[in-house]
Structure 1
Amino acid sequence: MSRRSMEVTADLVLRAYRHGLFPMAEGRSGGKLFWLDPVKRGVLPLHRFHLSRRLLRTVLSNQYQVTADRNFAGTIAGCATPLPDRMDTWINPQIERLFTELFRMGYAHSVETWRDGILVGGLYGVAMGGAFFGESMFSFARDASKVALVHLVARLRLGGFRLLDTQFVTDHLAQFGAEEIPRDSYKSQLAASVDAHAIWLPEPEPEVLEAEFRHLAASRSAQ
């Protein structure tokens, strides 16, 4: 279901997340936001993330350089950019302003994928306690958003996060193990996660990060 909101602030967004709701616009040019509370919620279990050997090789190669919180504005702008398979997005200027404010407040974070100094992919979301609410991702080059997602999951696992909320499940996310769970189950997981202690790690030690990537791929092989 959805509910209209007359005025949305960054603080209100944080309170809404705590109760399982999130805002979306009707479209890039839409002037109104809606609160969504889906009957089925998308989550990506951090302990069952699917990392293929092929993608592991890409992640470990020098094909892309990955950073976190380095270019939040560019990342959300990339997510709002129309693409051939996505001519419109739900990220309107108000959403951009709200999440940029959440970034300034220390709640929103981005993971950026670069090639030759150019931002070619990434994702952003909101961290509260041990929960990370994934908002959107984009890719202007092959595997660029996938590489960002692998980096996100590794950081969340290393930081002690318990919940990765994807809002919905797409074919893109399903290949990594994303699944739909009932609203009540989601809110139980949310309640157990949102006040848990976790640390956002924008720059883990490279050797620690690589070990986590290899662990993710090994866990997939053992499943």
Structure 2
Amino acid sequence: MIDWLDEASLDFPPSHRALGPDTDAAGLLAAGGTLSPERLEAAYRRGIFPWYGPGQPPLWWAPDPRMVLQTADFKLSRSLRKTVQRFAATPGCEIRIDHDRAAVLRACASSPREGQAGTWIVPELQAAYLAWPAMHSVETWVDGELAGGLYGVNLGRMFYGESMFMRRTDASKIALCALICLCREFGIGWVDCQQNTRHLASLGAAEVSRGAFEAHLATHVGKPAPGPWTYHPDYWHRHLLTTT
């Protein structure tokens, strides 16, 4: 039995009370509550995130193990390196940060996660993230059009990746490469990926225990947040193309 959250409180139950791997909802910790920025921040600081579908109440998760991409372990394939080099050298190709967060959310909502038939980024969740300044979008633009991107949350020296999309080949991968550059520039060592997928594993992500994840948060979320969230083209060579 999971806890039903009090709408007036920002408290969450201890993460060890999340449903175990022998259930159909492993990692599910609680249900209900509001989606205010204050509640979202209270959740993310503890490694808890919302994930639910249309017609469901907010569902809050703390899975064990947790998929994490350590920025030092990011795997840049030869083909992706060439793609980034070509993008960085082509006029009209640029990375924008937080230029159109709403468009990125809508696009991600129409691009289901690997292995899922529908979206979990329901309209009320989109509104909640847009009202939260900690949410950032990393956007791939080509000739003035949004070609792909991703969004996530930055608290202290931690980034929580949420979702990505592409409208042109490799546009989401280019955005991820830009995120890695940003994280390296800002001293952010871990990107939370939440759940294990083959694609994430191919990029260097690996599972860590929930305990290890929460210990990392305890020492990094409270650090001063980096900023401003802007992207400089020099980051490609400073943090990726000449170092990986």
TM-score (norm 2): 0.81
C-alpha contact (below 8 Å) 1:75/1:122 kept by paired residues: yes
Amino acid of the structure 1 residue aligned with 2:69:
L
Moved over 4 A (4+): 82-86
Distance 1:200 1:56 in 2: 26
Match of 1:175 in 2: 202
Q: Secondary structure at the match of 2:105?
A: helix
Which structure has the larger Rg?
A: 2
Q: Name the residue aligned to 2:171.
A: 144
Q: Write the distance in 2 (CA, Å) between the matches of 1:144 and 1:201.
A: 23
More helix by share: 1
Query: Which SS does the other structure have where 1:206 is aligned?
Result: coil
C-alpha distance after superposition, 1:141-182 (max 9, x if no partner): 211110000000110110111321111121121111011111
* Aligned ranges 1:74-93 → 2 under 5 Å: 74-82=103-111, 87-93=117-123
The 1:31/1:94 distance shift into structure 2, 3 A limit, reads: farther
Superposition map of 1:1-223 within 5 A: 1-2=27-28, 3-26=30-53, 29-62=54-87, 64-82=93-111, 87-102=117-132, 106-217=133-244
Looking at structure 2, the residues matched to 209 and 201 of structure 1 have their Cα atoms a distance apart, in angstroms, of 18
Query: Gapped runs of 5+ residues in structure 2?
Result: 1-26
Q: Which amino acid aligns with 2:94?
A: Q
Alpha-carbon distance between aligned partners in 2 of 1:112 and 1:178, rounded to the nearest angstrom? 21
Aligned partner of 2:109: which letter? A
Q: Distance in 1 between matches of 2:64 and 2:94?
A: 38
Structure 1: 5+ residue stretches without partners: 218-223
Percent identity of equivalent pairs: 34
Q: Residue 173 and residue 201 in structure 1: after superposition, are their counterparts in 2 closer, same or farther (change >3 A)?
A: farther
Q: When the two structures are superposed, what TM-score results if normalisation uses the length of structure 1?
A: 0.88
Cα deviation digits, residues 45-102 of structure 1 (max 9, x gap) = 1111111222122112246422111110111111001469754111101110110001
- Local SS of the residue matching 1:187: helix
Equivalent pair of 2:113/2:119 in contact (CA under 8 Å): no
* CA distance in 2 between partners of 1:10 and 1:23 (Å): 12
AA aligned to 1:162 is: G
